[in-house]
Amino acid sequence: MNNNKAMESLKKICTPVCDYLKDNYNPHCTVIITDNEIKLVEDKICIPVRSDD
C-alpha cells in the first residue's frame, strides 16, 4: 500500500473517533490506540516549555 492510500485509509477509520471526541468530550481529551488497548486520556495541566534547541 502506498503512502497516500495508507493515509486515506487511516483517515477513514479515525474520522468517526474524532467526531466522537468532539461530540462527547472536551479539547483536552485524547484517544490512544495501540494493538493492545484503546485509551481515553485527559490532560489536567499542560504548560508549554520553550526548548533551547
Query: Tens of pLDDT along 1-51?
Result: 799 999 999 999 999 999 999 999 999 999 999 999 999 999 999 898 988
Domain assignment of residue 7, yes or no: yes
Domain assignment of residue 51, yes or no: no
* pLDDT at residue 53 greater than cutoff 70: no
Query: 19 is in which domain, residue-wise?
Result: 3-42
Domain assignment of residue 30, yes or no: yes
The pairing of beta strand 38-42 with beta strand 29-33? antiparallel
Give every CB contact of residue 2 below 8 A, 6+ residues apart in sequence: none
State the pLDDT at residue 51. Answer: 82
- pTM assigned to the model: 0.72
Domain assignment of residue 31, yes or no: yes
Do residues 31 and 40 make contact, with C-beta atoms less than 8 angstroms apart?
yes
For the chain, how many structural domains are there in total? 1
Domain assignment of residue 50, yes or no: no
